[in-house]
Amino acid sequence: MKKLLTQGQLSVLIVFAVLIIDQIIKILVKTNMYWHESIRITDWFYIYFTENNGMAFGMEIFGKLFLTTFRIVAVGLIIWYLAKIVKQNYKTGYIVCISLILAGAIGNIIDSVFYGVIFNESTHSQIASFMPEGGGYSTWFYGKVVDMFYFPIIDTNWPAWLPFVGGEHFIFFSPIFNFADAAISCGIIALLLFYSKYLNESYHSLDKGDKKEVENHEK
């Protein structure tokens, strides 16, 4: 039976679907909510608007320009790798995982590269607008990544009798993330759980393929 989509087409479809959903959610949140405004969905799920300069789940490491440049380089490498494994007809599930990681990485790059120019600042008293007359809140490559999903599944205080942390407030799960982060996490988790052996196999396979290409050019 003929497949509805080739592996390459499926990969492209996943990337575009994740990007569209991710950007729709971010733009809706950015242009309709105040900074740090929250909407309660349930006791353990909130839409909580925040922004960060760093990587997934709000981690802030190194400088902003470095992070944006690093993301772009990483995306280039993932695209190259994805093209190679599609060409070599790897398992569809493995390609789906890599496609999810790629889509998530591109989604956050869009924020970093463009959002500082196309939106004005979000504050406690001002909701951002798209393409404001006075210009954006920053320059190219210095935009902030929009996060909104917050799951405080456990929100309590440690028992007073516990050493060091007794009486302190404890939240699990405290990171605030976006749809792109979720795509990356799902891709990595599925990769490690179901396709970890293919990582090593693909490395050796690609290495052999590169050597053959060099030999062919030398001939």
| Residues identified as active-site | 147, 181
Phi-psi region of 141 (alpha: psi -120 to 50; beta: other; left: phi over 0): left
Peptide bond between residue 173 and the one before it cis (omega within 30 degrees of 0): yes
- Are 151 and 182 within 8 A, CB to CB? no
In terms of Cα–Cα distance, which of 140, 119, 141 is closest to 131? 119
Q: Using alpha carbons, list the distances in angstroms from residue 162 to 28, 152, 154, 155, 169.
A: 43, 22, 18, 17, 12
Q: Residue 211 region, left (φ>0) first, then alpha (ψ -120 to 50), else beta? A: alpha
Query: What are the start-end ranges of the H helices in the chain?
Result: 7-30, 64-87, 92-110, 116-118, 179-194, 196-218
